[in-house]
Structure 1
């Protein structure tokens, strides 16, 4: 087994950041150090947990308001507070006015609460998953969560004693808290819970590391770090992610006395699974709160660990999808035979197709026949309805390789898992050679049996990881640029749509424009006399052939594919129904219903329909009938030259070339003669949404 110094050195460098944020001057009050290793295609608040830690140096009325602002500004899910300096009685009423959004837990000693006190402020939608909370002597507070799938998580907030630790006071003032932390961690691991250990430890990790790497005698209080890191395999994400920055960038304590040097005494330690889901590490200078500590903000992706946290529990559903791609000519023939059999058994032909009172009955029979034949003859697949969102960066090749290298390193580091690697070394070697192709000359001939071979393999893993980390960051940059461009385009479109809403009220047209909406005397009304005559078989078949495949169906679930593949006998029944509708100018009641789906816009939903793009799915048989009417109307308009002058439309035998040529010449004339030109473009398809 390799020594602790090398193990830590590799773990530290293994995750280093090739593009660090430069350290800013301490005089910059807005100084923030940030590391972001991952991104998401579509960000939802329930996808990310933001855990923060802050020594607040006493809670006052002024600080409470500023703290509430910070919770909102950084969208913090869970905030651990140290040195609250308030009694348990005072803590009960500290945040009453903000408890619609957060739940608070505080603990302190009953008598001497100055210089002590810890607390946790937790968003309500997460707090409802809390099954237990407790505290220990005003310096440790912890909560236990259970999420769906029996996934557990424990958060422990610790405020360590400040000042010099001597042999005499170690047992009374330090060891009892260390022992409690160890007890809580062991208890959590026994229940397979993820753990977050955070707070103001009042301990210097760098001093511990210096003693450890130089084989010097370790101070008793620093042995907690050794136990956390080496025995329990916790990860310090801020130290790992900020490795390339100067050590000063990790400082969290800036004494009010400028003669004292800043240092790092605040920490967030996490278990392995949580660390692998790191989204962002941030050190924030909370300038509005009078404290000499910085706030740590640690963000993780939540969906792989605890799932999405919803305000309302929703049942999982299924939908049935017809697999038309698995249908061939023989199967469609069976479908038609089933329809013909239905015609014979349902007595649909006995209906009087001249009586408008039968419109709804005839349609009901047609609907039942199509649905029944489809279920009998068309393969159906059940699809589970989920709300999962795939992170595109997580399926990139670079990310997959980085994940594999992390897991491989863990396996050979753990003596229990290493035997599995040795037994399957041929498979692992093949995978590693594939990863290193054109990137490394290493042959992977050494099996990780001893410390020397493990050390050499660790070094090569580190080199490969750095290469793929660069590739990953390059892909990440491209992805962000594409998302920015998409967001800009979407914002412009949203702006136009928002402006249109101002037209949702009656307008008084001027006399000039009103005349354009009067009936045109030169148009003979008799040209429309054949618009509603009985449709022929050819018209029906032509309209059916023009129906698009793979389109969403309406309320009854009848699709275009079903209509297109009906038997000639069944098509005749559909044609007779359309004739009955044309003659009486009345449609079936079910055709007046539609499915409306509000598609969210890229903005907060806020329970406002204006923040959605509704799409309406009409009954396909209704659309078939309308397409026959539209085809006739287009022919009438083209034949009688109704659209004249500068009016253009996609009529039969017409072309968009002429209007485009005219517009191009107008633009060219404006450019050549330095004229101001305004072009108005109207997308009339949007008019149907208002």
Structure 2
């Protein structure tokens, strides 16, 4: 399983007794096994599931039908129910009553799981041929009683996943001159977008007349989803302003509120000596005024199930769902029931899904000339090609998100002084040690006071083609019109930074606050300095490939993200190209 990267292996007709099955893989600590055995008739029965511990940890329930079926229920993060049903149907048709009783039990299980909105995989040796059942239906004949298992599966919105990827799936059973496809993997329709591919391969590690049927899943949406309570906790602590609910009238009320609050501090802003200390006081007043006024704006909690993913991932996921829906309506039975072999009905169906198909075909440069005039088989082939391309690109784009996230929590660190190691957990001591570490963690400069030579002398010599007058206006006071123009040019939907003052707030702050912020910017130019809070930065330690062992030396470079008071990037106020 490790060599072939198999996460879950289902085996049927194991011919094992309970005592023998318990001993299998007993010494393996990284996998778990479950067995369904019939000790009185073990030579022609038996089902087993062997699963990697990474996924076995989600199992909350096991149900057994002696020697014939084994059901495992997994409860995944985000309250996702995932059910695996492994079955081994009777091979001898003389057991008709037992087979029909087994079908009734299977249907009861599927109905119960569907009520839980579970994603279901039904897999195993059905000892019945779906291809034969389809042929009987095409000929308007009654299907063989043993093939009713397929009707039960389809009734519960399940499909043969092999037919999604292959028009003519390979036979799975071969004995002398007899061949048939009797081993299947059926999944609920909502699982189709999470599949990547299905294959049928010869088994090499032991002798058998059956082939192995394999389904490959994209596991991120199933097993790597955040726990629901963590999502809710995160969103409860991070209320955001809901700008979609703010109309022009509410913005006017917001500006009036800012003005009234600012009037109370008018003396502090208007009559102040020019010094960096007083400028910091003015900024604190402006920042706190914004915070008080922000309480009047509508807030929203993020959807705990909403994913924040790259646009390409979202694009592919959206089309996986759309294309899988189209394919589930292009099965042989649906084609017959919808009369899609008829030219008019086929054209209606094609027109209905034309926008979806044309958009994805355009992206992958698939020729769709005359798409509306193609018959249903040609249209289905185009949809399948598009589906496979989306699957492959989705898997490739999503590969970077599969990496395990490493993080550093600076709640304790190990320091070494005079060859003695010490573990520190006090917050103040940790902060002081980190400050000292970052002062000295970079290597010493290699400058040996050597004089410049050659081209470097020319490089650092005064430039005759640069006129000093060009820079005279750089520190000129900012005009009201220039300040107003720069505020209006700010982009929406940007992170507000440490101050939590967003660009939308600046755009609607009113005349009084606009005048105050302009004065603050000009005072900074006059004193030739910036506010103390504007010097603050966000610090991100990046772990190396080895485990984090509370040593600051075990980190790569640190990323500093400067954040100015007004939530915009620090650049010259007079520069028309930058932000304020």
Report if aligned partners of 1:278, 1:301 keep a CA contact under 8 Å in 2: yes
Query: In the alignment, is residue 315 of structure 1 matched against residue 231 of structure 2?
Result: yes
- Distance in 2 between residues matched to 1:272 and 1:207, nearest whole Å: 22
Deviation (angstroms), 1:217: 10
Alignment of 1:223-622 (within 5 A): 223-229=145-151, 233=155, 237=160, 240-241=163-164, 244-245=167-168, 249-254=169-174, 259=176, 261-271=178-188, 280-287=197-204, 291-299=208-216, 309-310=224-225, 312-313=227-228, 314-316=230-232, 317=235, 319-321=239-241, 323=243, 335-346=254-265, 349=268, 352-374=272-294, 376=296, 384=303, 386-387=306-307, 390-392=314-316, 394=318, 399=323, 402=326, 435=349, 465-466=376-377, 468-473=379-384, 516=456, 520=460, 522=462, 536-538=477-479, 541-542=482-483, 545=486, 547-550=489-492, 551-563=494-506, 566-567=509-510, 569-578=512-521, 581=524, 587-594=530-537, 616=561, 618-619=563-564, 621=566
Partner of 1:34: none
Cα gap change, 1:161 to 1:578, in 2 (>3 Å):
same
CA RMSD between the two structures: 5.9
Offset, 1:374: 5.0
2:111 maps to 1:185: no
In structure 1, the partner of 2:10 is 80
- 345 and 153 in structure 1: CA distance in 2 versus 1, 3 angstrom threshold: same
Residue number in structure 2 paired with 1:119: 48
Closer/same/farther in 2, CA of residues 321 and 105 from structure 1, 3 Å limit: same
Q: How far 1:370 moved relative to its partner?
A: 2.6
The C-alpha deviation readout for 1:21-79, integer Å capped at 9, x for no partner, is xxxxxxxxxxxxxxxxxxxxxxxxxxxxxxxxxxxxxxxxxxxxxx2322x2x6x4x43
State the alpha-carbon separation in 2 of the partners of residues 534 and 262 from structure 1.
Answer: 87
Q: How many residues align?
A: 483
Q: Indicate if the aligned counterparts of 1:242 and 1:250 stay in contact, CA closer than 8 A.
A: no
Name the CA distance, whole Å, in 2 between partners of 1:69 and 1:352.
Answer: 74
2:125 — aligned with what? Answer: 200
Conserved? CA contact 2:539–2:558, under 8 Å: no
1: distance between equivalents of 2:329 and 2:154?
21
Structure 2 alignment gaps of length 5 or more: 339-343, 355-373, 399-441, 549-553
Tell me the alpha carbon deviations over residues 280-318 of structure 1, each in whole angstroms, 9 at most, x when there is no partner: 332133445655432212356789xx9665364432426
CA separation of 1:223 and 1:69: change in aligned 2, threshold 3 A: farther
Instruction: Name 2:371's counterpart in structure 1.
Output: none
How far 1:404 sits from its partner (Å)? 9.4
Q: Does residue 156 of structure 1 match 2:101? A: no
Point out the structure with the larger helix share: 1
CA offset digits 1:126-169 (Å, max 9, x no partner)? 5444332132333432223455787655432123466xx474xx
User: 1:160 & 1:404 partners in 2: Cα distance?
Assistant: 26
- For residue 344 of structure 1, report the CA deviation from its aligned partner: 1.9
Name the residue aligned to 1:132. 61
Unaligned stretches of 5+ residues in structure 1: 1-66, 415-429, 441-462, 488-503, 635-649, 652-690
- 8 Å contact from structure 2 (residues 316, 394) kept in 1: no
CA contact (8 A) 1:319 1:384 kept: no
Q: Determine the C-alpha separation between the residues in 2 that align with 1:293 and 1:474.
A: 29
| Separation in 2, partners of 1:106, 1:398 | 38
> Equivalent residue of 2:3, what SS?
helix
Q: 1:681 maps to which residue?
A: none
User: When the two structures are superposed, what TM-score results if normalisation uses the length of structure 1?
Assistant: 0.53
2:121 aligned counterpart, secondary structure: strand
Q: Secondary structure at the match of 1:250?
A: coil
Contact 1:134 1:143 in 2 (8 A): yes
1:239 and 1:348 mapped to 2: Cα distance?
Answer: 77
**TM-score, normalisation: structure 2:** 0.61
Give how far 1:323 is off. 3.4
Equivalent position of 1:27 in the other structure: none
Deviation at 1:538, TM superposition (A): 1.9
Distance 1:383 1:147 in 2: 21
3-state DSSP of counterpart to 1:384: coil
Task: Report the CA distance shift for 1:365/1:209 in structure 2 as closer, same or farther (over 3 A).
Answer: closer
In the alignment, is the contact (CA less than 8 A) between 1:125 and 1:311 conserved in 2?
Answer: no
Contact residue 253 and residue 263 of structure 1 kept, 8 A: yes
Contact 2:69 2:85 in 1 (8 A): yes
Question: Cα distance, 1:366 vs. partner?
Answer: 0.7
What is aligned with 2:72?
A: 143
Distance in 2 (alpha carbons) for counterparts of 1:432 and 1:211: 23
Contact kept, 8 Å, 2:77 with 2:226, in 1: the verdict is no
